[in-house]
Each structure stands twice: as structure tokens, then as C-alpha cells.
Amino acid sequence: KQEVTQIPAALSVPEGENLVLNCSFTDSAIYNLQWFRQDPGKGLTSLLLIQSSQREQTSGRLNASLDKSSGRSTLYIAASQPGDSATYLCAVRPDSNYQLIWGAGTKLIIKP
Amino acid sequence: AAGVIQSPRHLIKEKRETATLKCYPIPRHDTVYWYQQGPGQDPQFLISFYEKMQSDKGSIPDRFSAQQFSDYHSELNMSSLELGDSALYFCASSFLASGVRGDTQYFGPGTRLTVL
């Protein structure tokens, strides 16, 4: 059974720092991996999607990498801003179906 | 750009009542997914539909049912509501027929269901 883990569960850093969020999964038979952002009590915003054949994707200050064989993905945020404060979730789509399996998220706080 | 629309945004029900949540996917999207997110928990996949047919089923209780209509909107019907059904219910849509890049799931704002 696929399990997705995110470390750390919470992170607080000063504005301007570069930071890395980690996501690991137990079964490498994935179709893709997606990073989301969720603001308190709000919906989910898709940030980046990496297909299983890809190594990384970039969007603005965000860069996500995928090492499928080792079951790991990282989300790199450059020059963090207070507006980046949110919970970041990673989700994997298995090869065998369309559903997403989620990590518990990393709650990120960027201090001004 | 148009996004996924969910209605209602908030819903309060009593135990044992029924509730119907609606989801309107992004235009041209052919697939709808439903997720349940309990307080402080990660989302759990419930069910999905592709071209109006059920495509995948997750941890959806037997008390719940869902369907996708000819205009691609979807409804999640919940009966005999229990306190534990209180959660944020998300709908997502994607355009699978467009190929690999169509796999991205775009989420609606969610419906917050409170069962008293």
C-alpha cells in the first residue's frame, strides 16, 4: 500500500531564506507526483506536477524534483516571502489508478 | 480562467439527514474527482468519474453515492449523515483525453460540511 510522508511537519523561517520541503513515498510505481498549496480553511492550489519520467519542474521561485527510484521528491522555494506561508502537500498518483494519495503536509510559516 | 465550482460552500446538517454537494468542472474537462478532508487530516480520495462513468473508487462509505451528468457536472449524495462526516469536501477536475499534461487535477474551493 502506497504511503506518502512529508518532513518536516512544520517549518518556520525568516523571510528571504531558501528552503526545501521533503516528500517520500513507499512504492515507486507512480504515474506522477503533484505539489499543492493549501491556505487555512481554503482550497487546494496545484503548484507543480512532475511526471514519472521527469526529474524536475520549475515555476517561478519554485522547483520540484523527483527521484522515483528512491521514492523522494523535494520542493525548493527560493527567496521565501510571507505570502508563501501555507501548508504544502504532496500527492502521488499510482500507476494503477487515477486517485491521489496524499502526504500530511508541511505547515510553512515565513516570518517578516 | 474558469475554475472548478462547488456548491454550496458551507452546509450545516443534523445527524441522519441527507446532503447533496455539487461540482462543476472546468469547461472541457472530462474527469471529476471527489476528496474528503477531515479536520487536521490530509485529503482522502472518495470516487472519480471519466466521461460520466465511474473510473475509480476509494474510501467512499456505502451511505454516499455520486454520479456525473451529461453536462459533466457531478453530485455527491450523502445520506444518514454522521458526526464523523463533518469535513471539507473537495472536487477536482482534469482533462484526461488531452494526454499526459491533462492529468493535472484542478481543485475547487471545497464545501465545508458540518454535521450537528
Residue whose C-alpha cell is 507526483: A33
Q: Tell me the nearest-neighbour CA distance from B27 into chain A, angstroms.
A: 18
pLDDT < 70: residue spans in chain A: none
What is the tens place of the pLDDT at every residue in B43-94? 999 999 998 999 889 989 999 999 999 999 999 999 999 999 999 999 999 8
A31: number of Cβ within 10 Å? 16
* B105·A103 Cβ contact <8 A: no
What would the DSSP string read from start to end of B47-78?
Answer: EEEETTEEEEE-S--TTEEEEE-TTS-EEEEE
**Which candidate from A32, A43, A104 shows the least CB-CB separation from B108?**
A43
Chain A residues touching B90 at Cβ < 8 A: 43-44
Grid coordinates of A44: 487546494
B65 near B95, Cβ under 8 Å?
A: no
Closest CA to A104 of A23, A19, A13: A23
pLDDT at site B59 = 87
